[in-house]
Amino acid sequence: MSCDGPPWYVRDPQTGEIQILEIPERLRCHPDLQRRGLVATDPFKPGFVYATSFRQQPQYAIKILDLGTEELAIYERLLQLDPASPNHTLPCDITQVGYPLLVMPCLSDVRAMNRTAGCTLYELLGIFLQIVEGVEFLHRLHIAHMDLCIDNLVGADRNSAEHHQRVVRGKVYIIDFGSARTLQLGPGRQRAVILPPTQVHPPNGLKHFDPYSWDVYCVAHTLGVIIELKAIDKTNWILRRYVRWLTGNERGCTGVCRCRPSARKARRVLTFLRTIVYLWNICKWSIG
């Protein structure tokens, strides 16, 4: 972390204890936030991420960027690209005055997508496909996220799309590039690197991993979490077999990892599976 960067804590002047519910003075008086009329009121991740009030729409999340990481440079690069799929970067702004902040639309957790009506197999495969193609897009740019997990995926529901014009209803977005790395070599050529602290636990306690293969492993873990929340029993075997294939059989490769498919291959197989399910549904509707 940079010496001027997060965490920005508010401490009790007498005891020195961290007051996690308080908003840092630097954030309340940030010139760019004041210009935008944004007032942080709620700590999402105290010291790092805050949000404006949910009572006032549109609601925004405000992340204090750590200049000791590549996150600022990666966002600056990604935000210059066409925001349409397969780009699943959340449309957001980087403040240009004062300390760099990331101002993002405040969206729902991806676990909330289709929660009300439930998910069909076809819809669930569609969510999977968005996640995998988003990772493939990053890998084509030689970017490894390094901390993909359920908490770093958000989805735009109807309410979000109405309040934030740049987000697309039903789209899944990848957030939090604090551990991400830009690499010289692409998938299939990159050797193992030291893993940063991650929310997904590495298999067999490994400390080194091909970064692209690690992203795919994390995708597999994340899809497994979604399956447990949404899957219909009769279709579990299709989803679980796909996740097992992505998880692979880890051998602790120190060079280029061959233990699991690339994001590109994972996306192609998922597209094929979803097409088969679509055609099967058409046949059932025709016969029924």
Model confidence pLDDT, tens digit, residues 109-140:
888 775 544 678 898 899 999 999 999 999 99
Least confident of 18-27, 146-155, 258-267, 279-288: 279-288
Which whole-number Å values give the CA distances from 147 to 23, 175, 182, 225, in the listed order? 27, 10, 14, 15
pLDDT tens string 148-167 = 999 999 999 999 999 999 99
Q: Is the pLDDT of residue 85 over 90?
A: yes
Q: Is the pLDDT of residue 272 over 70?
A: yes
User: Any residues with CB less than 8 A from the CB of 182 and at least 6 apart, and which?
Assistant: 70, 73, 74, 77, 141, 142, 143
**Cα distance between residue 48 and residue 82, in whole Å:** 28
Chain-centroid distance of CA 36 in Å reads 26
User: What is the average pLDDT value for the chain, to the nearest integer?
Assistant: 92
Mean pLDDT across the stretch 254-283? 94
Predicted TM-score (pTM) of this structure: 0.94
**Confidence category of residue 2, pLDDT binned at 50, 70, 90:** low
User: Any residues with CB less than 8 A from the CB of 79 and at least 6 apart, and which?
Assistant: 89, 91, 92, 94
Question: pLDDT: is 11 or 236 the higher one?
Answer: 11
Q: Scanning the structure block, which residue is given the tokens 């058409």?
A: 282
Mean pLDDT across the stretch 198-219? 96
